[in-house]
Amino acid sequence: MQAIVDRTGVKRYLVTLKVNGTVHTRPVKANTLLVDLLREDLDLTGTKKGCELGDCGACTVLVDGEPVNSCLVLAVEADGVEITTIEGVTQDGRLDRVQEAFINHAAVQCGYCTPGMILSAKALLARNPHPTEQEVREAIAGNLCRCTGYVNVVKAILAAANEKANEGIEEGRASNE
């Protein structure tokens, strides 16, 4: 990784990463956190900062498809990876099915935990399209919500999974007709 010294004499490293489909190269300090690179350098403030200790999950992003606490990753460690933040979940200006399910099931209150919850849910549904309630609860165990219980969040994720399953059935019907 290329290192440069900035005007103030601080050594920085050129990090290149793909975020929500766009490649970015930024000079970062050795101790810059991935969450700060995303929020402050790339202006992707949908990723939230809570505890900065890996306890709350507010800073969850997908790194190569896996949910990761971005407050526990140095920006230099993210060189060459592919990242999805909550801004990358929306497709063509339309909310993703998980986002819609959160709205429809009143799973959002202040919304601070919501980006992390949704990204954990997306990762779960990508590897397990038909999760049980227990599997949903396990998938969001690292995402703490201070506003409410988890009942509506779990309902929303299960509804998004069912919607996907129903869509598959509909598609199957259409192709058989």
Binding site for ligand FES (CB under 6 A): 49-52, 54-59, 69, 71, 108-114, 145-147
CB of 60 to ligand FES, least distance (A): 7
CB of 102 to ligand FES, least distance (A): 10
Nearer to ligand FES, 27 or 50 (CB): 50
Nearer to ligand FES, 27 or 33 (CB): 33
Q: What is the Cα–Cα distance from 115 to 50, expressed in whole angstroms? A: 12
CB of 48 to ligand FES, least distance (A): 7
CB of 133 to ligand FES, least distance (A): 19
Nearer to ligand FES, 10 or 147 (CB): 147
CB of 77 to ligand FES, least distance (A): 15
Nearer to ligand FES, 20 or 120 (CB): 120
- Reported residue count of the chain is 177
Nearer to ligand FES, 68 or 124 (CB): 68
| 3-state per-residue secondary structure call for the chain | CCEEECCCCCEEEEEEEEECCEEEEEEECCCCEHHHHHHHHCCCCCCCCCCCCCCCCCCEEEECCEEEECCCCEHHHHCCCEEECHHHCCECCECCHHHHHHHHCCCCCCCCCHHHHHHHHHHHHHHCCCCCHHHHHHHCCCCCCCCCCCHHHHHHHHHHHHHHHHHHHHHHHHHHC
Pairing of strands 22-28, 66-69: unpaired
